[in-house]
Structure 1
Amino acid sequence: MMKTYYLLISLLFIFLNSNAQCDKCLPQEEEIDYCFKDARFEDLCAQFVDKNYFYFNKKKKSKRIDLNFDDVEDIVAYRKITNNKKLKLTANDLLFIQMSVSKWNVEKKRLGYEFLESGLGIKIIKKGGDVKPVDGKTVVVHYVGYLMDGEKFDSSRDRGQPFQFQLGRGRVIKGWDEGVKNLTIGTRAMLMIPPELGYGSRNMGPIPANSTLIFDIEVLDQK
């Protein structure tokens, strides 16, 4: 019970903190998905949308900066920013940008997910019918499993063979049992499974210990 309470408080803090930070940034004409501020950079703010650019606020001015967020660790990407004389960025600005983009690369993976009390995230890709699978029944699914860095570690689709398991009987990781119970037959969704609902502190082949897992899963049928 206490574990669930602290999890809810943590998720609420993340949500409120992000929105509070946005209140301290300059308004934009489009909806902002995430804002980053840091007390060490008092006059700076970064505002992100789910695209390959962001808004950099400095004092009372805002500049749009184009950047491939996947190249955040690539020094070439930052050289392009540094060499853009129109931006007039200082070394301090660039340090802040690097910190904010690194944070965004983590936070953007949570966009569109609804998080349950257990910490399981569900994002619906395609809505199915109205019938939910029942405990004890054998469900038939297609799935693709990813690590948080996007590396694929398993796929029934690649094998061309759907996977079957008995629901609610501990035959799969907890995140799967809970996730599939919350979907309907015909639904395809993304499940974000924290370590405690996955493999925990165990190393499982290509899956490192304490990994958060992403599954693209489609519930095809139940028997």
Structure 2
Amino acid sequence: MVSGHRHGRVTAKLWGATMIFDLFALLNEKAFSHPSTITAALLNNDSLRLTVRGCGWWKDRPTYANGGAILSFSGISGGTLDIRALLDLEDDEALGNFEVTRSDDLDWARPTTFSLYCSQPLPEPLAVYDVVERWVERSHGVKAVHDFLHGSARLSTFLAYSNADFFMLATGPESLRTLLADELARQEVRHQFEPSGGYADSRYLVRLAENTWFFCESATLEPT
């Protein structure tokens, strides 16, 4: 049996006597609250299962103690996940930045649409770096400049890389293409955009803690 509402209301499925909630819908309807302690974690291929105790924030009448749930994530891809850091039984705010967001609502996570090539050295490589860095910061993304700007994992490497006569400068979504086109036009750099395969990240972006995030296809909560 399925119960729920349209227009973003909480959606839940009843399996036997257990109610399983869609986490994205649930977090859009109810405010997450601490304490939150992760007591067990199981990572199996592309699935993660976390046993959590603390505040029962998902309830109609939240309790701030003795709330228990299993958080399940499947189809995990990308990101950074430190299970050992999460399993700190003394930490009652283990889910420090907990949120589930649709990836297609995130500008920086949208499909790559272009590859950008330059056919002369960049007169002002730091200005190009600054354009991408500001775009990443405005997007509040979890990716870094080097995920879009080639050769930029180290600034010294990027300065040398962008001094070549021909090189691939960047790949990314359409909004970044516009910014780079404007900057290269300002510097009068010969360049060419080539269409690129529209790879998209998985359905949801999940943030568990400050440095723990990943993409996944499904995210659910099962009260225990």
Report if TM-score (shorter chain) is over 0.5. no
Query: Which structure has the higher relative contact order (CA within 8 Å, separation 6+)?
Result: 2
- Normalized against structure 2, the TM-score is what? 0.30
Higher helix share: 1
Higher strand share: 2
